[in-house]
Amino acid sequence: MQENTVQDTLGAFVPGPIIQRAPHSSGPLSGLSFAVKDLFDVAGGVTGCGNPDWAATHEAAKADAWAVDTLLGAGAALTGKTITDEISLGLLGINKFYGTPLNPRAPDRVPGGSSSGSASAVAGGLVDIALGTDSGGSVRTPASFCGICGLRPTHGRISVAGLMTQAPSFDTVGYFTRDALTFGRVGAVLLGEQIRDALPAEIIIAADCFALADEPVRRALRPVVDRLRDAMAITVSPLAEGELPDWARHQRILQRCEFHDTFRDWIDRVNPRFSSEVAGAFADDGRIASSELASATTFREGASKRLDELLDGRRMLCLPTSPILPISRAARLSDMRAAVHRIVDLTGIAGLTGLPQVSLPVATSGSIPVGLSLIGWRGGDAALVAAARTLAREFSIGQFEELA
């Protein structure tokens, strides 16, 4: 293992020595660098999970996480471990102990989380690729806020071996890049499939998802959606049969229960230091009525069935990645809580159902990035990455123009 110092002008990397590793061999990612969220094991280093007391009470990893090993085996060089929201609980990118990474595209606003350092490092050009994790939106949100490409895969599609999971039925390994060409190359490596340029048979514009978004988000995305209408088969339809925020409400119940199961014993033994926001999330010990859990589980099964039938292995769903623009880095705690709830109203769709989603850097509101998402069918990750790359070539949108 090499240890070096990089010019971390963004506050993206975990403080202290920067752990670096040379690639195992040459391969399809030779010449590219990558960073990993501090939830992934890197042999010889402690996986810190965004909290100093977690780092102090856990031993160094004995082996690299599967995703880390796979990128090293494909020729990429590891540049370091990046900051995550505290114990990965958050969607804004704020960490009381290690700092909030800079959003290079909107420096006075949050970068999004919990894969905050990974997104910051990619958006700011410190690395070409970064690994993140996504349970309730932790890749998709920072991808949108920082104006880069981000994938949350189908649940279980990419191995989580060597990852500190927090909510196992939601957790996925995702990644970021700045451009669509690299996005496709990394997807081929992590998915083990060729990425062939193609668009789906049909795209469904989720009308109720757009209705939940603030006007600056809708206004920024409208020209891109209009270009899609002119170029391919488009259907406009509501996603939910009832109230769309119900999807997020049931996700919160299930994810909260799993999150508490993961951390309850450690918290009881260690009595760790937490920010007030994280401490508040654990204040009730995560005890949820069995009837409430049963209702959320039943809802999840129904929502998954509805989307599987709607997408049918050939359609993709189009929606804003986030209903809001990134909030100020100096926002009040109450504003932060409100922002997280708004974000999950949309990110909870793929999280609850376990479907793959890509966020594309297609627009801006003034100078602030606005991401557009496609949700693909279950297991259709390669097709989803291919659709993103094809949109780059055929529509020359956003940062994808360099590939046109």
Catalytic residues: 37, 114, 138
Distance CA 14, CA 256 (A): 26
Report phi then psi at 340, rounded to 5.
Answer: -60, -45
- What is each CA distance from 396 to 13, 80, 171, 262, in whole angstroms? 32, 32, 32, 43
The closest of 78, 86, 83 to 120, measured between CA atoms, is 83
Distance CA 98, CA 183 (A): 28
Distance CA 360, CA 392 (A): 9
Output the CA torsion sign for 44, 47, 52, 54: negative
Distance CA 92, CA 115 (A): 9
The closest of 125, 180, 170, 124 to 150, measured between CA atoms, is 180
- What is each CA distance from 234 to 81, 200, 227, 230, 231, in whole angstroms? 41, 10, 11, 9, 9
- Both tokens assigned to 247: 């999807």
Strands (E), 270-356: 315-320
